[in-house]
Structure 1
Amino acid sequence: MNRHLYTLLLHLALPLIALRLALRARKAPAYARRIRERFSFGLPPLQPGGIWVHAVSVGESIAAAPMIRALQAHHPELPITVTCMTPTGSERIQALFGDSVQHCYLPYDLPWAAARFLERARPRLAVVMETELWPNHIHQCARRGIPVALANARLSERSARGYARFARLTAPMLAELSLLAVQTQTEAQRFLALGARPECVEVTGSIKFDLKIDADLPRRAADLRRQWQAEQRPVWIAASTHAGEDEIVLDAHRQLLASRPDALLILVPRHPERFGAVHELCLSQGMATRRRSTGEAVHAGDQVLLGDTMGELLFLYALADIAFVGGSLVANGGHNLLEPAALGKPVLSGPHLFNFLEIAAQLREAGALSEVENADQLAGRVATLLGEPDEAQRMSQAGLAVLQANQGALERLLAGLQRLL
């Protein structure tokens, strides 16, 4: 399939795209807003001539934040436009940067929509986070002489096989990229095999290792646990959970409560549209549950704190003694294991980590990551770490060492972007 056939099929799929938006809007009403932006109509005023950064959703927005701040510091004269595809990503961008960046949804990958967007933004450089590759957007940039960089690029073996099935579409698109700053040598080889130009591929590492933790965060977390009179309570967090995982986590917590009746679980669903359903699930399972969004203090009788706020995940990690990272007990591929590691927490996950294979391998090899497959194993591992503080401390130190050994990717990425500018 070449780009012209892809474009035709995308136009034919527009009714299905509209239906998908409507279905998503039933669960998350924010999807019904700003629809015109998705077709390059009703875009906000954009100051042209700067840098355009695309981060598809929340995870990519958070990963992009240090890069964007560095670009703002190095080039205060250049406007930065940050686009995304989801309402939660939009909320995160606005919370992180406020009015210091220009922001809108990225229009769908239709040639005329991409052209209208680029005519409005007229960037000097486009930076796409990770693997959000859109053939028409990239081609429209190439036609205008706008260099496109793929930043913090990753490509799993499964994704590479998928791209290879559409080589007539994929190879010309990758050849139009000016820089592929990839996380590992293995991924570099996959991009090269698919058609990327060798002179444009650089192994820079993962910028997620360059995570900077606000020094005030642990202090604020300790103060809140003191206010809750929970300094001695065992507290663990299950973060970024997906449908199908919450039941497993609550089962594990119920087992833990049998031996540690004062244990507190901080449960943080990945998607805000699930906050209400997960709250109902906790109550239906007889768990005394308090919602973080109420701002109420946690009481001694509370068994679960539902993390139903946005932008607080690092703070909630800081509140806990042990961290389980979700999206990994179901076949979702996992989420960022480095955030709890950077806060010095022993890290647990499920076995499905295909989105973070290299990071998981390094943490596992260092002894900073424990993987579990079910509620029994999760409960057992949490209980063991709570009962063996020396083991928990060893995992904590191992995670911090992995982070320290891999830092510098952001600096290498910025050097590549500077060359393109």
Structure 2
Amino acid sequence: MNRPYRYCWHHFIWRWCYNLVLILLLPFGLAALLLKSDNTEGKRNKNIERFGFIGRPKHNGILIHCVSVGEVNAAKSIIQRLQLSYPDVPITISTTSTTGAKQAHAIFKDSVQHMYLAIDIPVCMWLFFHKLRPKLVLVTEVEIWPNMLHQCYRRKIPAVLINARMSSESVKTYQNLAYLFRPSLRKFSRICTQGQQDFENFLSLGVYKPNLMQSNNMKFDLEADPQDEIKAEQLKLQLSLENQPVFVAGSTHDLEEKACLDAFKKLRVSHSQLLLIIVPRHPHRFEKVTQLCQATGYAVVKTSELDEEPLHVLPDIVVVDAMGMLKACYHLASFAFVGGSFAHKGGHNALEPALYGVPTMMGPSIFNNPVICHALADAGGLKVLSQATQLSETAGSWLNNPEEAISLGQASKKVIEQNRGAINQTLDVIAEVMEEGAPH
């Protein structure tokens, strides 16, 4: 049985200090949104939804909030299972980023409702919940919005933080703002953590122990999608790719492409057939990355330039300028680099190449998924590098010893198989919370 949140008078004061700061920053946020547009559905600028104007959605359903692409992908299986378990219950996915919105639409089409989460200002969040009226809220990973959780508490809507992570770096930040975030965390009916360290970190922030459980990381429940294999085969045909070794640099950020290009130049001296495929993390950087690659003098092609006819000559570098192609590229990889790890973004999902038995490299910034990275590194299939100059050295050893590289990749794949089960545990918690009803 969970322990419910207890209201104290000073919680109100701290939350309204937070609200004041947000209101002062609102003009800058509004200006930024006016400069952006989202034509995900090709109809209208949906950014108005960020202020709570979400039209007339189906209500009395389950709201699942995912920040961006990574969280949407991680929640994919659990959303599909919820659709099977509760076929008459409307499912709504809210995201923060436009790339997350596009990914949600690409995966689920019209089988779910999609909208942007309202800005965490009381009137916007009140309007959002007044229109949507969910009976359960699921929040992925580490999204803690005080006014959102206060609306759940006031409306007696149970909220569950799933696949929750809390790095040691984040703990320090939340501890400095404990008077604001401790009450917010206690408004979750349950928190399902990715690992033991996350469990301990949430406990140190004042979350009641009965409300915590270690369900492990849902990303370990990653499944190969037949559509990715089809995309991989199509790309292979378009490029006229045969048995050439392929270096995939996935989810890259600024400066990481240059590091991979430098490594590629060194590797090509002794491995002239090597192909480099770069998949930038953000669409707005596609053109910049293409220009960076073209400046090297190598033959470069963008995936948007490919057609059904195979190329007569295999290019040196391929820039993937489309969403939803990353796992298909990993399917073709001989070895990979996962971005966000030299750019100090915490590192993106190393399980995606591991799913296809691909030995992988990352930089030292892995705080987003430390449990995953340590498990893969312990198995040998992931090499966490301290400097970008080590990319060519590590990749070179795999190119010179392909049997060893295959063995390391298979070891990573085995890690995934050994750690599955988080989705079933999380679904059990969701069912329990739904049976208990709203917290008092």
TM-score (norm 1): 0.95
Partner amino acid for 1:352? S
Query: What is the count of residue pairs matched by the alignment?
Result: 417
User: 1:216 & 1:35 partners in 2: Cα distance?
Assistant: 30
Match among 80, 91, 102 for residue 91 of structure 1: 102
* Alignment map for 1:54-203 (pairs within 5 Å): 54-203=65-214
Deviations 1:354-393 (A, max 9, x none): 1111111111111111123444321122222122121111
Match of 1:268 among 263, 279, 285: 279
* Structure 2 contact 191–212 (Cα < 8 Å) conserved: yes
Match of 1:339?
A: 352
Amino acid at match of 1:13: L
Tell me, yes or no, if structure 1 residue 40 matches structure 2 residue 55: no
Q: CA deviation at 1:18?
A: 2.3
SS for the counterpart of 1:336 is coil
Q: 1:157 is aligned with what amino acid?
A: S
Q: CA deviation at 1:346?
A: 0.9
Report SS of the residue matched to 2:144: coil
> After the TM superposition, which residues 367-382 of structure 1 pair with which residues of structure 2 at under 5 Å, given as runs?
367-382=380-395
| Cα shift readout 1:76-135 (whole Å, capped 9, x = no counterpart) | 010011100111111111111011001110010011111111111111100000001100
In 2 relative to 1, CA 224–270 (structure 1 residues): closer, same or farther, beyond 3 Å? closer
Q: Does 1:415 align with 2:428?
A: yes
Q: Which amino acid aligns with 2:15?
A: R
Corresponding residue of 1:5: 17
3-state SS of the aligned residue for 1:81?
A: strand
Shift of 1:262: 1.7
Structure 1 residue 323 corresponds to structure 2 residue 332 = no
Q: Whole-Å Cα distance in 2 between the matches of residues 264 and 218 of structure 1?
A: 19
Cα deviation digits, residues 279-336 of structure 1 (max 9, x gap): 1111112121100122344553511010111111111111211111111112111000
Shift of 1:139: 0.5
Which residue of structure 2 lines up, in the alignment, with residue 21 of structure 1?
33
Which of 129-138 and 14-23 deviates more?
14-23
Corresponding residue for 1:399?
412
Task: Report the secondary structure of 1:281's partner residue.
Answer: helix
Separation in 2, partners of 1:14, 1:217: 40
Distance 2:272 2:313 in 1: 10
Q: Which amino acid in structure 2 is aligned with residue 353 of structure 1?
A: I
Paired AA for residue 176 in structure 1: K
Matched, 1:289 2:289: no
Quote the Cα distance in structure 2 between the aligned partners of 1:56 and 1:339.
Answer: 19
The whole-number CA distance in structure 1 between the counterparts of 2:115 and 2:157 is: 19
1:150–1:181 CA contact under 8 A, matched in 2: yes
2: distance between equivalents of 1:61 and 1:344?
A: 23
> Matched residues in 2 for 1:108 and 1:398: separation?
43
Pairs within 5 Å for 1:236-275: 236-275=247-286
User: Residue 102 and residue 387 in structure 1: after superposition, are their counterparts in 2 closer, same or farther (change >3 A)?
Assistant: same
Question: Could you tell me how far apart the structure 2 residues matched to 1:278 and 1:3 are?
Answer: 42
Greater mean alpha carbon deviation, residues 147-156 or residues 291-300: 291-300
Deviation at 1:29, TM superposition (A): 6.9
Give the aligned partner of residue 52 of structure 1: 63
Q: Which amino acid aligns with 2:401?
A: E
Contact 1:184 1:205 (8 Å CA) reproduced: yes
Deviation at 1:256? 1.2
CA contact (8 A) 1:170 1:195 kept: no
Structure 1: which 5+ residue stretches go unaligned?
Answer: none
Equivalent position amino acid for 1:314 in 2:
K
Q: What secondary structure is seen at the aligned counterpart in 1 of 2:344? A: coil
Find the aligned partners of 1:387 and 1:219 in 2 and give their Cα distance. 29
What is the distance in 2 between the residues matched to 1:210 and 1:259?
38
What is the CA–CA distance in structure 2 between the aligned matches of 1:37 and 1:119, rounded to whole Å?
A: 13
- The one-character-per-residue Cα deviations of 1:254-285 (angstroms, maximum 9, x if unpaired) are 11111112211000100000001101111112
1:312 aligns with 2:325: yes
Q: In structure 1, what is the equivalent of residue 241 of structure 2?
A: 230
User: How well do the aligned residues superpose, as a CA RMSD in angstroms?
Assistant: 1.9
Residue identity matched to 1:313: L
CA distance in structure 2 between the aligned counterparts of 1:216 and 1:92, rounded to whole angstroms: 14
- Asked whether the 8 Å contact 2:228–2:325 carries over to 1, the reply is no
User: Using the alignment, how far apart are the partners of 1:271 and 1:279 within structure 2?
Assistant: 13
**CA separation in 1, counterparts of 2:290 and 2:34?**
24
Residues 195-249 of structure 1, C-alpha deviation per residue, up to 9 Å, x if partnerless?
2121110100000000010356447635653564422211110000001111111
Q: Using structure 2 for the length normalisation, give the TM-score.
A: 0.91
Amino acid at match of 1:364: A
Contact 1:30–1:87 (CA<8 Å) still a contact in 2? Answer: no
* Uncovered stretches (5+) of structure 2, i.e. residues with no partner: 1-12, 435-440
